[in-house]
Structure 1
Amino acid sequence: MSKKFHIQRSPFVVPTQDGKLIEEHFGRASDGNSQISIAHMVAPPGWSEPFQTPEFEEYTVIIRGKKQFIIEGETVVLQAGESIKIEKDTRVQYSNPFDEECEYIAICLPAFSIESVNREAE
């Protein structure tokens, strides 16, 4: 009989060039799951990504610090204990323009892929 659960003790650490820590616990890179990805992230002060229009829903739960979202031209700042759901096919930019780290959990449905995130050139 196969187990009815899976404990993730060694998430896939996504290589980055911008100082951001990305630990994918479940998803394409960690366990081949294309239905959902769940990642623990820490964005350093001053971090930002290019605008993107993902083909997946993205949920973000802020654990520590603050994170800025520019969603279809509207700026939203979330703090620890707050969360947001961004619908697929929505133009968004994620950043941490603040002077402290931002720790958060990101969940993508279906799973994140570099092909479906649709990042704009910087």
Structure 2
Amino acid sequence: MKKYFIQKSPFAVPTTDGKLIEEHHGMATTNNAAISIAHMIAPPHWKEPFQTPEFEEYTYIISGKKQFIIEGETIILETGQSIKIDKNTRIQYSNPFDEPCEYMAICIPAFDFTKVHREE
């Protein structure tokens, strides 16, 4: 029995806003509720509604820039930077810039639509 798993077919999460989401590990791909790891590309001028997730989220910027509004404070991460955001924190993710932003997102426990609490 192998003690490892190589993900060769990440799950492409359907989106309507032009954002690429490829989940490598998590509920949709490996039925793992403990962690999710996703590769993402946010197109220029993309944004999500504010949310208050019940999970920690770590973000590592591969290229470009990404804006975070965390409890009212605006933070911009650039290539090579990362951030950890505690669970139950009100946040908005966006890319108000003219270039795409490529990044990795890790959620602990795994991302769950029923626990993200997006504002409409």
TM range (shorter): over 0.9
User: What's the offset of the Cα at 1:75?
Assistant: 0.0
Structure 1 residues not aligned, in runs of 5+: none
**Superposition TM-score, scaled by structure 1 size:** 0.98
Q: For 1:12 and 1:76, locate their aligned partners in 2 and report how far apart those are by CA, in whole Å.
A: 29
Q: For 2:58 and 2:115, locate their aligned partners in 1 and report how far apart those are by CA, in whole Å.
A: 16
The root-mean-square deviation of aligned C-alpha atoms, in Å, is 0.3
Identity %: 71
User: What's the offset of the Cα at 1:27?
Assistant: 0.1
Which residue number in structure 2 is paired with residue 82 of structure 1? 81
Return the structure number with greater helix share.
1
Structure 2 residues not aligned, in runs of 5+: none
Matching of residue 13 in structure 1 with residue 12 in structure 2: yes
What letter matches 1:100 in structure 2? E
Q: For 1:30 and 1:68, locate their aligned partners in 2 and report how far apart those are by CA, in whole Å.
A: 27
Give the secondary structure class of the aligned counterpart of 1:23: strand
How many positions carry a matched residue from both structures? 120
User: What's the offset of the Cα at 1:74?
Assistant: 0.1
**Superposition TM-score, scaled by structure 2 size:** 1.00
What letter matches 1:109 in structure 2? I
Which residue number in structure 2 is paired with residue 100 of structure 1? 99
